[in-house]
Protein backbone atom coordinates (compact mmCIF):
# COMPACT_ATOMS: atom_id res chain seq x y z
CA UNK A 1 0.00 0.00 0.00
CA UNK A 2 1.22 3.45 -0.85
CA UNK A 3 1.70 5.95 1.89
CA UNK A 4 -0.56 8.92 1.31
CA UNK A 5 0.59 12.25 2.53
CA UNK A 6 -2.21 14.63 3.05
CA UNK A 7 -2.27 16.47 6.34
CA UNK A 8 -5.82 17.58 5.65
CA UNK A 9 -7.09 14.02 5.53
CA UNK A 10 -8.02 11.99 8.59
CA UNK A 11 -5.99 8.77 8.82
CA UNK A 12 -8.50 6.10 9.85
CA UNK A 13 -5.71 3.95 11.32
CA UNK A 14 -5.41 6.57 14.06
CA UNK A 15 -8.63 5.33 15.72
CA UNK A 16 -9.40 2.28 17.81
CA UNK A 17 -12.96 0.94 17.65
CA UNK A 18 -14.28 3.42 20.20
CA UNK A 19 -12.58 6.33 18.47
CA UNK A 20 -13.84 5.24 15.09
CA UNK A 21 -17.42 4.88 16.37
CA UNK A 22 -17.23 8.42 17.78
CA UNK A 23 -15.86 9.64 14.46
CA UNK A 24 -18.81 8.15 12.55
CA UNK A 25 -21.34 9.44 15.07
CA UNK A 26 -19.79 12.87 14.55
CA UNK A 27 -20.63 12.49 10.87
CA UNK A 28 -24.25 11.64 11.69
CA UNK A 29 -23.69 7.94 10.98
CA UNK A 30 -24.47 4.94 13.17
CA UNK A 31 -21.64 3.70 15.42
CA UNK A 32 -21.67 0.23 13.78
CA UNK A 33 -20.00 1.80 10.73
CA UNK A 34 -16.81 1.45 12.80
CA UNK A 35 -16.88 -2.35 12.80
CA UNK A 36 -17.90 -2.44 9.14
CA UNK A 37 -14.93 -0.33 8.21
CA UNK A 38 -12.55 -2.26 10.48
CA UNK A 39 -13.57 -5.54 8.84
CA UNK A 40 -12.73 -4.14 5.42
CA UNK A 41 -9.38 -2.79 6.48
CA UNK A 42 -8.08 -5.42 8.85
CA UNK A 43 -9.79 -8.58 7.68
CA UNK A 44 -10.53 -8.17 3.98
CA UNK A 45 -7.42 -6.13 3.12
CA UNK A 46 -9.62 -3.65 1.27
CA UNK A 47 -8.29 -0.11 1.45
CA UNK A 48 -10.25 1.45 -1.38
CA UNK A 49 -13.38 3.11 0.01
CA UNK A 50 -15.22 2.52 -3.29
CA UNK A 51 -14.98 -1.24 -2.73
CA UNK A 52 -16.58 -1.07 0.72
CA UNK A 53 -19.96 -2.18 -0.56
CA UNK A 54 -21.93 -2.04 2.70
CA UNK A 55 -21.23 1.68 3.15
CA UNK A 56 -23.63 4.10 1.52
CA UNK A 57 -22.57 5.89 -1.64
CA UNK A 58 -22.57 9.24 0.08
CA UNK A 59 -20.44 7.96 2.98
CA UNK A 60 -17.95 6.47 0.53
CA UNK A 61 -17.75 9.79 -1.27
CA UNK A 62 -17.15 11.57 2.05
CA UNK A 63 -14.41 9.13 3.02
CA UNK A 64 -12.73 9.50 -0.37
CA UNK A 65 -12.73 13.24 0.00
CA UNK A 66 -11.66 13.53 3.63
CA UNK A 67 -10.03 10.34 4.87
CA UNK A 68 -7.13 8.02 4.12
CA UNK A 69 -5.67 4.72 5.28
CA UNK A 70 -1.98 5.46 5.50
CA UNK A 71 0.91 3.53 7.04
CA UNK A 72 4.64 4.06 7.27
CA UNK A 73 6.64 2.57 4.42
CA UNK A 74 9.51 0.06 4.54
CA UNK A 75 12.72 1.72 3.40
CA UNK A 76 15.32 -0.78 4.66
CA UNK A 77 14.98 -4.51 5.23
CA UNK A 78 17.70 -6.64 6.80
CA UNK A 79 17.36 -10.40 7.22
CA UNK A 80 19.56 -12.14 9.80
CA UNK A 81 20.91 -15.68 9.45
CA UNK A 82 18.43 -16.86 12.11
CA UNK A 83 15.46 -15.52 10.12
CA UNK A 84 15.00 -12.37 12.21
CA UNK A 85 14.05 -9.39 10.05
CA UNK A 86 14.67 -5.76 10.94
CA UNK A 87 12.86 -3.03 9.09
CA UNK A 88 13.35 0.67 9.04
CA UNK A 89 10.03 2.25 8.13
CA UNK A 90 9.68 5.84 7.10
CA UNK A 91 6.88 8.08 8.29
CA UNK A 92 5.35 10.76 6.11
CA UNK A 93 7.48 13.40 7.79
CA UNK A 94 10.67 11.53 7.05
CA UNK A 95 11.37 10.00 10.47
CA UNK A 96 12.46 6.40 10.69
CA UNK A 97 10.88 3.78 12.92
CA UNK A 98 12.48 0.41 13.59
CA UNK A 99 10.62 -2.89 14.03
CA UNK A 100 11.88 -6.46 14.33
CA UNK A 101 10.19 -9.71 13.26
CA UNK A 102 11.29 -12.75 15.28
CA UNK A 103 10.13 -16.13 13.94
CA UNK A 104 10.08 -19.10 16.32
CA UNK A 105 8.70 -22.64 16.08
CA UNK A 106 5.51 -21.89 17.98
CA UNK A 107 5.05 -18.16 17.42
CA UNK A 108 6.02 -15.13 15.36
CA UNK A 109 6.78 -12.07 17.43
CA UNK A 110 6.93 -8.49 16.24
CA UNK A 111 8.90 -6.04 18.35
CA UNK A 112 7.66 -2.52 17.67
CA UNK A 113 8.58 1.04 18.61
CA UNK A 114 6.39 3.56 20.38
CA UNK A 115 8.44 6.74 20.02
CA UNK A 116 11.14 8.12 17.77
CA UNK A 117 14.14 7.93 20.05
CA UNK A 118 13.60 7.91 23.80
CA UNK A 119 13.42 10.58 26.47
CA UNK A 120 14.73 8.32 29.21
CA UNK A 121 18.44 8.01 29.65
CA UNK A 122 18.95 4.36 30.63
CA UNK A 123 22.71 4.01 30.73
CA UNK A 124 22.88 0.58 29.03
CA UNK A 125 20.51 1.29 26.11
CA UNK A 126 21.66 2.52 22.73
CA UNK A 127 18.30 4.11 21.88
CA UNK A 128 18.84 6.41 24.87
CA UNK A 129 22.03 7.72 23.31
CA UNK A 130 20.05 8.99 20.34
CA UNK A 131 17.87 11.31 22.38
CA UNK A 132 14.18 11.94 21.85
CA UNK A 133 12.34 13.26 18.84
CA UNK A 134 8.58 12.65 19.14
CA UNK A 135 5.77 10.30 20.03
CA UNK A 136 4.52 7.99 17.31
CA UNK A 137 0.89 8.35 16.29
CA UNK A 138 -1.54 5.44 16.63
CA UNK A 139 -1.36 4.79 12.90
CA UNK A 140 2.42 4.72 13.04
CA UNK A 141 2.38 2.23 15.92
CA UNK A 142 -0.32 -0.11 14.63
CA UNK A 143 1.01 0.57 11.12
CA UNK A 144 4.19 -1.33 12.02
CA UNK A 145 2.09 -4.47 12.54
CA UNK A 146 0.04 -3.71 9.45
CA UNK A 147 3.09 -3.31 7.23
CA UNK A 148 5.04 -6.21 8.78
CA UNK A 149 2.12 -8.64 8.46
CA UNK A 150 1.57 -7.68 4.84
CA UNK A 151 5.27 -8.05 4.15
CA UNK A 152 5.74 -11.54 5.67
CA UNK A 153 2.38 -12.77 4.34
CA UNK A 154 -0.45 -14.77 5.84
CA UNK A 155 1.64 -17.96 6.10
CA UNK A 156 3.68 -16.25 8.79
CA UNK A 157 0.93 -14.86 10.96
CA UNK A 158 2.27 -12.53 13.62
CA UNK A 159 0.98 -14.00 16.89
CA UNK A 160 2.76 -11.84 19.46
CA UNK A 161 3.54 -8.15 19.70
CA UNK A 162 5.99 -6.69 22.20
CA UNK A 163 6.44 -2.97 22.60
CA UNK A 164 10.13 -3.33 23.29
CA UNK A 165 11.57 -1.35 20.41
CA UNK A 166 12.45 2.32 20.54
CA UNK A 167 10.81 4.52 23.12
CA UNK A 168 8.95 4.38 26.42
CA UNK A 169 5.38 3.31 25.59
CA UNK A 170 3.85 4.69 28.77
CA UNK A 171 5.11 8.18 27.95
CA UNK A 172 2.94 7.97 24.82
CA UNK A 173 -0.06 6.68 26.70
CA UNK A 174 -3.12 7.49 24.57
CA UNK A 175 -1.64 6.44 21.23
CA UNK A 176 -0.17 3.27 22.70
CA UNK A 177 -3.48 2.32 24.34
CA UNK A 178 -5.42 2.90 21.11
CA UNK A 179 -2.86 0.81 19.20
CA UNK A 180 -2.92 -2.17 21.54
CA UNK A 181 -6.73 -1.98 21.63
CA UNK A 182 -6.69 -2.40 17.85
CA UNK A 183 -4.21 -5.25 18.05
CA UNK A 184 -6.44 -7.09 20.54
CA UNK A 185 -9.76 -6.19 18.87
CA UNK A 186 -11.56 -9.10 17.18
CA UNK A 187 -12.57 -6.75 14.37
CA UNK A 188 -8.92 -5.86 13.78
CA UNK A 189 -6.02 -8.22 14.60
CA UNK A 190 -7.67 -10.21 17.37
CA UNK A 191 -4.42 -10.99 19.17
CA UNK A 192 -4.68 -12.56 22.60
CA UNK A 193 -4.25 -10.26 25.60
CA UNK A 194 -1.48 -12.50 26.78
CA UNK A 195 0.36 -12.00 23.53
CA UNK A 196 0.45 -8.23 23.41
CA UNK A 197 2.96 -6.79 25.85
CA UNK A 198 3.88 -3.25 26.77
CA UNK A 199 7.34 -2.95 28.27
CA UNK A 200 7.95 -0.01 30.59
CA UNK A 201 10.88 1.34 32.54
CA UNK A 202 8.46 2.18 35.34
CA UNK A 203 6.35 5.27 34.76
CA UNK A 204 4.30 4.70 37.91
CA UNK A 205 1.28 7.03 37.33
CA UNK A 206 0.83 5.52 33.86
CA UNK A 207 1.07 1.96 35.20
CA UNK A 208 -1.66 2.91 37.66
CA UNK A 209 -3.88 4.14 34.81
CA UNK A 210 -3.09 1.32 32.43
CA UNK A 211 -5.25 -1.36 34.04
CA UNK A 212 -8.40 0.74 33.58
CA UNK A 213 -7.50 1.81 30.06
CA UNK A 214 -6.74 -1.57 28.53
CA UNK A 215 -6.23 -5.19 29.33
CA UNK A 216 -2.75 -5.67 27.94
CA UNK A 217 0.18 -7.63 29.36
CA UNK A 218 2.83 -5.67 31.20
CA UNK A 219 6.59 -6.09 31.34
CA UNK A 220 8.73 -3.98 33.64
CA UNK A 221 12.39 -3.22 33.05
CA UNK A 222 13.67 -3.71 36.57
CA UNK A 223 17.43 -4.20 36.12
CA UNK A 224 18.34 -3.43 39.74
CA UNK A 225 17.00 -4.22 43.19
CA UNK A 226 18.51 -1.24 45.02
CA UNK A 227 17.39 2.34 44.41
CA UNK A 228 20.96 3.60 44.36
CA UNK A 229 21.91 1.33 41.45
CA UNK A 230 18.57 1.64 39.66
CA UNK A 231 18.86 5.45 39.80
CA UNK A 232 22.01 5.02 37.74
CA UNK A 233 20.80 2.39 35.26
CA UNK A 234 17.17 3.53 34.84
CA UNK A 235 17.16 7.20 35.90
CA UNK A 236 13.37 7.48 35.96
CA UNK A 237 13.78 5.56 39.22
CA UNK A 238 14.78 8.85 40.86
CA UNK A 239 11.25 10.02 40.23
CA UNK A 240 9.48 6.71 40.88
CA UNK A 241 11.58 4.59 43.23
CA UNK A 242 11.33 0.83 43.64
CA UNK A 243 8.77 0.75 46.45
CA UNK A 244 6.34 2.88 44.40
CA UNK A 245 7.01 0.84 41.27
CA UNK A 246 6.42 -2.48 43.02
CA UNK A 247 3.22 -1.18 44.64
CA UNK A 248 1.89 -0.15 41.20
CA UNK A 249 2.82 -3.55 39.77
CA UNK A 250 1.05 -5.33 42.60
CA UNK A 251 -2.12 -3.34 41.85
CA UNK A 252 -1.86 -4.06 38.12
CA UNK A 253 -1.46 -7.77 38.84
CA UNK A 254 -4.77 -7.74 40.74
CA UNK A 255 -6.63 -6.55 37.66
CA UNK A 256 -5.52 -9.54 35.63
CA UNK A 257 -5.19 -12.28 38.20
CA UNK A 258 -4.59 -15.07 35.74
CA UNK A 259 -1.72 -13.24 34.13
CA UNK A 260 1.82 -12.58 35.21
CA UNK A 261 3.79 -9.41 35.14
CA UNK A 262 7.09 -10.01 33.37
CA UNK A 263 10.14 -8.43 34.92
CA UNK A 264 13.12 -7.84 32.67
CA UNK A 265 16.61 -7.81 34.10
CA UNK A 266 19.61 -7.01 31.94
CA UNK A 267 22.72 -8.92 33.03
CA UNK A 268 25.63 -6.51 33.49
CA UNK A 269 29.00 -7.95 34.46
CA UNK A 270 29.99 -6.94 37.99
CA UNK A 271 27.17 -4.40 38.24
CA UNK A 272 23.91 -6.20 39.06
CA UNK A 273 24.78 -9.90 38.83
CA UNK A 274 26.00 -10.88 42.31
CA UNK A 275 24.51 -13.44 44.69
CA UNK A 276 23.29 -10.52 46.81
CA UNK A 277 21.45 -9.14 43.75
CA UNK A 278 19.79 -12.53 43.15
CA UNK A 279 18.71 -12.66 46.79
CA UNK A 280 17.39 -9.10 46.54
CA UNK A 281 15.38 -10.08 43.46
CA UNK A 282 13.88 -13.08 45.22
CA UNK A 283 12.81 -10.85 48.09
CA UNK A 284 11.35 -8.21 45.79
CA UNK A 285 9.46 -10.56 43.48
CA UNK A 286 8.29 -13.25 45.92
CA UNK A 287 5.03 -11.54 46.70
CA UNK A 288 3.96 -10.74 43.17
CA UNK A 289 2.66 -13.08 40.42
CA UNK A 290 5.43 -12.75 37.90
CA UNK A 291 7.98 -14.21 35.55
CA UNK A 292 11.54 -13.04 35.29
CA UNK A 293 13.33 -12.65 31.98
CA UNK A 294 17.09 -12.27 32.19
CA UNK A 295 18.44 -10.36 29.19
CA UNK A 296 22.09 -10.83 28.27
CA UNK A 297 23.44 -7.31 27.77
CA UNK A 298 23.92 -6.47 24.10
CA UNK A 299 26.94 -4.23 23.74
CA UNK A 300 26.99 -1.24 21.40
CA UNK A 301 29.78 1.20 20.50
CA UNK A 302 31.07 3.15 23.53
CA UNK A 303 28.81 1.31 25.98
CA UNK A 304 30.33 1.31 29.46
CA UNK A 305 29.19 -2.24 30.31
CA UNK A 306 29.95 -5.87 29.52
CA UNK A 307 27.56 -8.78 29.59
CA UNK A 308 27.76 -11.12 32.59
CA UNK A 309 29.43 -14.41 31.73
CA UNK A 310 27.36 -17.51 30.95
CA UNK A 311 28.05 -19.23 34.27
CA UNK A 312 26.96 -16.18 36.25
CA UNK A 313 23.71 -15.91 34.26
CA UNK A 314 23.02 -19.62 34.74
CA UNK A 315 23.75 -19.41 38.47
CA UNK A 316 21.45 -16.39 38.76
CA UNK A 317 18.72 -18.21 36.88
CA UNK A 318 19.04 -21.34 39.01
CA UNK A 319 18.89 -19.37 42.26
CA UNK A 320 15.71 -17.59 41.14
CA UNK A 321 14.05 -20.74 39.81
CA UNK A 322 14.93 -22.63 42.99
CA UNK A 323 13.20 -19.88 44.96
CA UNK A 324 10.01 -20.48 42.93
CA UNK A 325 10.31 -17.54 40.52
CA UNK A 326 9.87 -18.71 36.93
CA UNK A 327 13.01 -17.42 35.26
CA UNK A 328 14.12 -17.62 31.64
CA UNK A 329 17.11 -16.23 29.77
CA UNK A 330 16.22 -14.30 26.65
CA UNK A 331 17.70 -15.75 23.49
CA UNK A 332 19.64 -13.16 21.56
CA UNK A 333 18.19 -12.94 18.07
CA UNK A 334 19.20 -11.03 15.00
CA UNK A 335 22.62 -10.31 16.41
CA UNK A 336 24.28 -10.01 13.00
CA UNK A 337 21.92 -7.21 11.92
CA UNK A 338 21.94 -5.25 15.22
CA UNK A 339 18.35 -6.23 15.87
CA UNK A 340 18.86 -7.46 19.43
CA UNK A 341 17.42 -5.80 22.52
CA UNK A 342 18.59 -2.25 23.03
CA UNK A 343 20.15 -2.00 19.60
CA UNK A 344 17.41 -0.14 17.80
CA UNK A 345 18.74 3.31 17.31
CA UNK A 346 16.88 5.07 14.54
CA UNK A 347 18.13 8.47 13.55
CA UNK A 348 17.52 11.04 16.22
CA UNK A 349 19.78 13.97 16.62
CA UNK A 350 17.89 16.30 18.92
CA UNK A 351 18.76 15.40 22.49
CA UNK A 352 17.73 18.77 23.81
CA UNK A 353 14.08 17.85 24.17
CA UNK A 354 14.67 14.93 26.47
CA UNK A 355 14.34 16.89 29.69
CA UNK A 356 11.39 18.95 28.49
CA UNK A 357 9.40 15.94 27.36
CA UNK A 358 9.95 14.05 30.57
CA UNK A 359 8.62 16.92 32.63
CA UNK A 360 5.55 17.29 30.46
CA UNK A 361 4.70 13.67 30.25
CA UNK A 362 4.90 12.45 33.83
**Least gap, CB of 201 to ligand SAH (angstroms):** 3
DSSP 327: E
Angle subtended at Cα 40 by Cα 68 and Cα 91, rounded to the nearest 5 degrees: 35
Q: Is 36 in the site for ligand SAH (CB under 6 A)?
A: no
- In sequence order, the 6+-apart residues with CB closer than 8 A to the CB of 105 are none
d(CA 202, CA 362): 11
| Strand 217-221, strand 196-200: pairing | parallel
Q: Does 266 bind ligand SAH (CB under 6 A)?
A: yes
- From 98, 168, 232, 264, active-site residue: 98
Q: Is 164 in the site for ligand SAH (CB under 6 A)?
A: yes
Longest CA pairwise span in the chain (Å): 69
Q: Which stretch binds ligand SAH (CB under 6 A): 17-25, 131-139, 196-204, 279-287?
A: 196-204
User: At its nearest, how many Å lie between ligand SAH and the CB of residue 317?
Assistant: 16
169: DSSP letter: G
Told to judge if 264 belongs to the known catalytic residues of this protein, a careful annotator would answer: no
Interface residue with ligand SAH among 143, 334, 342, 346 (CB under 6 A) is 342
- Residues 95, 133, 199, 272: which binds ligand SAH (CB under 6 A)? 199
Which residue is nearest to ligand SAH, using beta carbons?
342
Which residue among 201, 252, 308, 327 contacts ligand SAH (CB under 6 A)?
201
Interface segment toward ligand SAH; rule CB under 6 A; list 143-151, 153-161, 275-283, 291-299: 291-299
Regarding 278 and contact with ligand SAH (CB under 6 A), the answer is: no
β-bridge pairing 96-103 and 108-111 = antiparallel
DSSP 8-class letter at 93: T
Residue 80, CA distances (Å) to 95, 100, 166, 334 in order: 24, 11, 19, 5
Catalytic-residue membership of 290: no
- Which sequence positions are flagged as catalytic? 98, 341
Amino acid sequence: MQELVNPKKVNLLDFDRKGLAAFFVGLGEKPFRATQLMKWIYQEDVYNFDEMSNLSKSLRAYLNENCEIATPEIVVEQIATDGTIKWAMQTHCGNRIESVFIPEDDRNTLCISSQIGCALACSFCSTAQQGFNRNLTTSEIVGQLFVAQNRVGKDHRITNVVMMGMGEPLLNFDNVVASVNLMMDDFAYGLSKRRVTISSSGVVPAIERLGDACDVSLAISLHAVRDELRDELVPINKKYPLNELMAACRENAKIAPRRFITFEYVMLDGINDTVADAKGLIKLLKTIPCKLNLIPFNPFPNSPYRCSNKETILKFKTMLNDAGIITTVRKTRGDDIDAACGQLVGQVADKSRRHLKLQNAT
